[in-house]
Amino acid sequence: MRYDDSPPPPESASATDPDRPWYARRSTLVVAAGTLAPVCLAGWLATQVLTSPGPGGPAARGSAASAASASLAAPPSGFRDAKPGVTPSGSASSSAAAPAAPKGPLSGRTVVIDPGHNSGNFKHGSEIDRQVDIGTGRKECDTTGTTTNSGYMEAEFTLDVSRRLRTALEAQGARVVLTHQADRPWGPCIDERARIGNEAAADAVVSVHADGVSAGNRGFHVILPAQVKGGAADTSKIVGPSRELGERIAGNFARTTGSAPANYLGSGTGLVVRDDLGGLNLSTRPKVFIECGNMRDAKDAAQLTSPEWRQKAAQGIAQGIVGFLGG
């Protein structure tokens, strides 16, 4: 934090008096000189006070006046040039004027949202193709994701829904962490995405996606972690709670968006179990993926590209998380 020092105080006045008049000679001239000396001395002292740069002189008075003006005009030390409600370091001010964090059913809870893919992945093929350990084997660090036929990228969709979801959850009092906000050129890798949720000690983690299968395949589905144990992967403690999280999200998502469970997998339940996703295998926190629809189907794509529908999608996911966490 930067602090602006106020002007230094003037130096202390010297304790030494001006040279005293010399009275050693015993003569009438000395007596006369002695009579005149106090008057001269007083005049000399007045001149010194009026002209010297020391305390009380013009420089000192000017300095004091400037300091007084500055103290009235300038904000308190440490907050000079700061924007209202923001400290010099850029963090939110802790003053009483700052808005308090909203209280709600998720107060004290942490939710990690993982926007699938990254719009920059298309330009970083060699980086995202790097193999990483997912416990049961090795897999690409990340993938590009899919697009609609008109070119709307899955990574754009997932980030938009994730931000809407964050807003909805924060309004319920949750602490929300996003694994990224397209603030990096590519990635993060799937193992890092899992690690972010683990290190945040998240009460729930949701990875947001959209599918890219052939036209005619419609609807959403939620992917749950399978029972996996191998290498760094051990899902034994999260399989049960992850299923509950997934069921809550599926029910609320269908009700809020009006979308039906996928017609091409999951037997109409909207729930699918997989053991080949590093983001699930390496998680130690309850976690699911949601594929919100099929970007390659024209009817689903019309929904996915609609801001109003994306808002409903975020609300449905949020309601599922609130239900899972007991809100």
Number of compact structural domains in the chain: 2
Do 33 and 134 belong to one domain? no
Q: To the nearest whole percent, how much of the chain has pLDDT over 90? A: 68
Do 223 and 314 belong to one domain? yes
pTM for the whole structure? 0.70
In contact, 303 and 254? CB cutoff 8 Å: no
Do 311 and 191 belong to one domain? yes
Do 114 and 69 belong to one domain? no
* Domain-located, residue 98: no
What pLDDT, on the 0 to 100 scale, is given for residue 103?
Answer: 84
* CATH number of the domain to which 315 belongs: 3.40.630.40
Do 114 and 47 belong to one domain? no
* Domain-located, residue 14: no
* Domain-located, residue 78: no
Do 40 and 146 belong to one domain? no
Do 219 and 135 belong to one domain? yes
In sequence order, the 6+-apart residues with CB closer than 8 A to the CB of 223 are 246, 272, 273, 274, 277, 280, 288, 289, 290, 291
Least-confidence region, from 66-80, 169-183, 289-303: 66-80
Do 120 and 198 belong to one domain? yes
* 21-45 residue pLDDT tens: 333 333 333 333 444 444 444 444 3
In sequence order, the 6+-apart residues with CB closer than 8 A to the CB of 80 are 4, 74, 88
Do 67 and 115 belong to one domain? no
* Domain-located, residue 231: yes
What pLDDT, on the 0 to 100 scale, is given for residue 46?
Answer: 42
Distance CA 324, CA 327 (A): 8
* Domain-located, residue 11: no
Instruction: Please give the residue range of the domain that contains residue 119.
Output: 110-324
Res. 85: pLDDT tops 90: no
Q: How many CA atoms lie within 13 A of 323 on its CB side?
A: 17
Return the exposure string of 281-294: e unless at least 16 CB atoms fall within 10 Å of the residue's CB, then b.
bbbbbbbbbbbbbb
* Domain-located, residue 20: no
Per-residue confidence at 254, pLDDT binned at 50, 70, 90? very high
Per-residue confidence at 102, pLDDT binned at 50, 70, 90? confident
Do 67 and 194 belong to one domain? no
* Domain-located, residue 176: yes
* Domain-located, residue 178: yes
State the catalytic residues.
Answer: 291
Do 300 and 152 belong to one domain? yes
Do 114 and 207 belong to one domain? yes
